[in-house]
Chains A and B, each alone.
Chain A
Amino acid sequence: MNILRKKSKANLPFSETVIELFIRLCGISSIIFVFGIFFFVFREGAGFLFSGLNLTEFLTSVEWQPTSLNNKRYGAFALIVGTFSVTALAMCMAVPFGLGAAIFVSEFCSPKLRETFKIVIELLAAIPSVVWGFIGLTLMNQLIIQVFNAPIGLTMLNGSIMLALMSVPIIVSIAEDALKAVPDSYREAAEALGATRWQVIYRVLLPAAKNGLLAAVLLGAARSIGETMAVLMATGHSVNIPSGPLSWIRTLTATIAAELGEVARGDEHYQVLFIIGILLFTITFVVNLIADLVIKGIRQE
């Protein structure tokens, strides 16, 4: 093998070598970019993170007063709760719909309908988040006021609906791929044993596609955690511990988006916003790590 490789390398024309190098660079670049971004975000926030910021206050206090003249307080607890609650509620809506749609598309749909379906779902994914935010601010706001008799429609529920609509296409397309990847022989074997269609799906397909479905859900959740514009416009953007779906909230991402544009560079407030960025990085890292471990655990079974 080694000899063969060496030989072929020696005979490689110049352009081949260059192309190979280029492709290799492309592969490595994604790693470099991730570390580069992390390094940059960390560098901007590190100064204040290690000297000055009270980390306990940052993680447990709801007092977010970054522009106070005499008594600046950087408590991000309400923002963390906001991010998680709006994501959780969005997933409650998106996961059943997304997985249901994926099962329908891959198992029940006629091939013709499937093509239309997929195009429409992809179209849903192509709508920019600021448009979702605008729909939340105007249409959904009015609707929530009327349906729930709420004083104002810019609430966690509003933001969650927008996030659910945004993550459903991701969940559908990845989950559908996962179901497609289950070999047809499984289905045939199950049906030959006399299983009903429901039993085939519930007992055979879902367990077989477990990893892919989990990946679909987690990627959908990651999309929700990272979403900015739609939640900024639809959730009311209010530092508040929510007491229910009709409370208004503020998320970590929306805080960065709303405030970073107006802070002086290098300022404490600027650095705290970057520390929020580090926090977001850590959250997504942990989510991905859990996903990896879970998938590995499943494989070892």
Chain B
Amino acid sequence: MKGTAIIFFLPVLVCGFVITGCSPTDSNNNNVATKNGVHVTIKNKGSDTIVNLAQAWAEKYIDITSTVSVEVSGGGSGTGVAALINGTVDIANCSRQIKPKELEQATQNTGKVPQEFIVGYDALAVYVHPDTPIDKITIPQLAEIYGEDGTITQWSHLGIENSACPSDRIIRISRQSNSGTYFYFREALLGENRDFRIGSLDLHGSKDVVEVIGRTPCAIGYSGMGYATSHVKMLAIATDENAPYYAPTLENVLTKSYPIARPLYMYSLGEPTGEIKAYLDWILSVEGQKIVQKLGFVPVESK
């Protein structure tokens, strides 16, 4: 009889453990990286644009220090900042600047003011299928393609005959409406007063955009320069029709001639100290910035 009772209560006990184990309260303070001689973990989370880069940094850094490991996860800029506000990460990755409201929330919630670091630059490339007979495009043209009440809906409106696309209709590939990439591209094209036209295919990740364009001759889309593959073509871009066209290359981004490049940010809670400071310093060093270049992003001028 007693045996049966235990079998009956086992699920209850298990449930109890699961519920308490998952409660969000325990993740608050045990992640602060303080050097106590043994192993230190820095928690790093945020933008999907930066996640590969952050991963590469983390892998290299553990090789160098052998005591400091960095836990990297993606989820989007907003996710990273939300985690920063809750105090559950040490460094948040962000492909846009933190919003004033978020800054205020983080300060209120944790008592520390988030500090901003520009760790590299990301150039957004405009991609088309290789069979599309177009090599360059202007920002105003892109604005008419993507913007609300835009006038360009067909390839022939751009003055080209896209024989690979029988319907002639431009298929706009975009990102889900709150990714950092989406925000930046919209701002670069349309400023603050105009929105994207609805009806674009809003894909869920930088890689997917390139993947789908590689299979779709009617499509145009945007994604990080580092995501280029041999199945897609990148367009040269000019700020208007009289300006020179610049291809998305490292040199053009470094000289700031390429028009759609943006800084990538990392945010720490308060002025970084100890291992977090050492990590951020290393990222901004020549060695850390080499990795930036290797992954197709553009390094900051190292100090």
B and A form one assembly: yes
**A interface: dominant SS:** loop
B79: CB under 8 A from chain A? yes
Those of B115-137 within 8 Å (CB) of chain A: none
Q: Chain A residue with minimal CB distance to B200?
A: A238
Q: Which of A63-71, A169-177, A217-225 contacts the other chain? A: A63-71
- Return the chain B residue nearest A64 by Cβ: B198
Q: Is A248 an interface residue (CB 8 A)?
A: yes
User: Which chain B residues lie closer than 8 Å to A65 at the CB level?
Assistant: 177, 195-196, 198
Q: Are B203 and A259 closer than 8 Å at their CB atoms?
A: no
Query: What are the interface flags for A261-274 relative to B under an 8 Å C-beta threshold, 1 for contact and 0 otherwise?
Result: 11111000100000
B94 to chain A, nearest CB (A): 11
- B199 near A238: Cβ-Cβ < 8 Å: yes
Are A15 and B179 in contact, with the CB atoms below 8 A? no
- Please, which residues of chain A bring their CB within 8 A of the CB of B202? 237-239, 250, 258
Q: Which residues of B contact A160 (CB under 8 A)?
A: none
Instruction: List the A side residues contacting B161 at CB < 8 Å.
Output: none
Q: Do B76 and A22 have beta carbons less than 8 Å apart?
A: no
CB-CB < 8 A to A64: which residues of B? 198
Interface size of A as a range: 35 or more
Tell me if B215 and A142 are in contact (CB < 8 A). Answer: yes
Chain B residues within an 8 Å CB radius of A142: 215
- Bound: A258/B178 CA distance, A: 9
How many cross-chain pairs have Cβ atoms below 8 Å apart between A and B?
A: 107
Judge whether A161 is part of the interface by a CB distance below 8 angstroms. no
Give the residues in chain B near A238, CB-CB below 8 Å: 198-202
Contact A262 to B179, CB < 8 A, known contacts A71-B195, A238-B200? yes
B199 touches A240 (CB 8 A): yes
27 A-B residue pairs with Cβ-Cβ distance under 8 Å, sorted by A, are: A13-B1, A15-B1, A15-B4, A18-B5, A70-B192, A71-B195, A141-B215, A149-B166, A151-B171, A152-B215, A152-B216, A152-B219, A232-B204, A237-B176, A237-B202, A238-B199, A239-B202, A240-B199, A248-B201, A258-B176, A258-B204, A259-B176, A259-B177, A262-B76, A262-B79, A264-B102, A264-B105
Taking the closest CB of chain B, its distance from the CB of A145, in whole angstroms, is 7
Q: Is the CB of A69 within 8 A of B216?
A: no
Check A261–B203 contact: CB distance below 8 A. Answer: no
Separation of A211 and B9 alpha carbons in the complex (Å)? 37
CB–CB B79/A261 < 8 A:
yes
Chain A residue nearest to B148 (CB atoms) is A65
Q: Tell me which residues across on chain B come within 8 A of A159, comparing CB atoms.
A: none
Q: Is B8 an interface residue (CB 8 A)?
A: yes
Chain A 46-67, CB within 8 Å of chain B: the 1/0 string? Answer: 0000000000000000111111
Inter-chain contacts of B193 with A (CB < 8 A): 69-70
A237 touches B204 (CB 8 A): yes
Contact of B101 (CB < 8 Å), options: A232, A236, A264: A264
Given contacts A151-B171, A154-B212, contact A78 B198 (CB under 8 A): yes
The 9 tightest CB contacts between A and B, nearest first, are A262-B78, A262-B178, A239-B198, A258-B176, A151-B218, A262-B76, A236-B201, A68-B195, A67-B177
**C-alpha spacing A239/B9, complex, angstroms:** 49
CB interface residues, A 14-31, toward B, < 8 Å: 15, 18-19, 22
Q: In A220-258, which residues have CB < 8 Å from any B CB?
A: 232-233, 236-240, 248, 250, 258
CA distance A69 to B96 in the complex (A): 15
Q: How far is the CB of B192 from chain A (nearest CB, A)?
A: 5
Q: With CB as the reference atom, state the residue of chain A lying closest to B1.
A: A15
Q: Does A80 contact B (CB under 8 A)?
A: no
Contacts A67-B183, A237-B202 known; 17 new A-B pairs at CB < 8 A: A65-B177, A67-B182, A70-B193, A71-B195, A145-B215, A149-B166, A151-B165, A152-B201, A238-B198, A238-B200, A239-B198, A240-B199, A250-B202, A258-B177, A259-B177, A262-B77, A262-B176
Residues of A within 8 A of B (CB): 13, 15, 18-19, 22, 62-71, 78, 137, 141-142, 145, 149, 151-154, 232-233, 236-240, 248, 250, 258-259, 261-265, 269
Question: Which residue in chain B gives the minimum CB-CB distance to A229?
Answer: B204
Task: Indicate which residue in A137, A145, A239, A265 contacts B208 across the interface (CB closer than 8 Å).
Answer: A137
Report the bound CA distance from A68 to B105 in whole Å.
Answer: 21
In contact, A265 and B82 (Cβ under 8 angstroms): yes
Please judge, given known A-B contacts A78-B198, A151-B165, A151-B167, whether A261 and B78 are in contact too, CB under 8 Å. yes
Which B residues between 183 and 198 are near A, CB-CB below 8 angstroms? Answer: 183, 192-193, 195-196, 198
Q: Assess whether B217 is interfacial by the CB under 8 Å rule.
A: yes
Asked if B2 lies at the interface with its beta carbon under 8 angstroms from chain A, I say yes
Which A residues are in CB contact (< 8 Å) with B2? 15
**How many Å lie between the Cα of A224 and that of B7 in the bound state?**
37
Task: Kindly list chain A residues whose C-beta atoms are within 8 Å of the C-beta of B208.
Answer: 137
B75 contacts partner chain A, Cβ-Cβ < 8 Å? yes
- Tell me the complex Cα distance, A71–B169, Å: 28
Residues on the B chain within 8 Å of A22, using CB: 8-9, 12
